[in-house]
């Protein structure tokens, strides 16, 4: 699967450089917003949310013993209805 930051052979090099810079800036903005605990909505694509997980008891698979998992924050993603519809349409082809 191609990466968004890989050069596209169909585009001129300067356009590739511009798109790579724009994606890099977008990536930095999203990371900064999520790190500060804010949600990030990209219209037509989806929403990145920061969720707080509470401390919980888990089982260590190696030892079989119980242990406590510390509270933490995780990033979740929910795709938009438009994106979900396009994905479903491509799956039926």
DSSP 45-92: TEEEEEEEEPPEEEE-TTT--EEEEPPEEEEEEEE-HHHHHHHHHHHT
pLDDT at 3: 60
pLDDT at 17: 82
Q: What is the pLDDT along the chain (93 residues), one digit of tens a residue?
A: 456 555 555 666 666 788 888 999 999 999 999 999 999 999 999 999 999 999 999 999 999 999 999 999 999 999 999 999 998 988 765
pLDDT at 77: 96
pLDDT at 91: 75
pTM: 0.67
Sign of the Cα torsion 21, 22, 27, 32 reads: positive
Beta-bridged to residue 74, according to DSSP, are: 51
Superfamily of domain 39-58+67-93: IHF-like DNA-binding proteins (4.10.520.10)
């Amino acid at each position: 699967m191609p990466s968004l930051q890989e050069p596209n052979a169909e585009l001129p090099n300067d356009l590739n450089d511009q798109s790579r810079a724009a994606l890099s800036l977008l990536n930095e903005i999203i990371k900064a917003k999520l790190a500060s605990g804010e949600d990030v909505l990209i219209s037509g694509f989806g929403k990145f949310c920061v969720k707080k997980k509470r401390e919980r008891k888990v089982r260590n698979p190696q030892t079989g013993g119980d242990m406590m998992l510390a509270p933490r924050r995780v990033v979740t993603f929910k795709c938009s209805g438009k994106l979900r519809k396009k994905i479903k349409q491509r799956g039926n082809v």
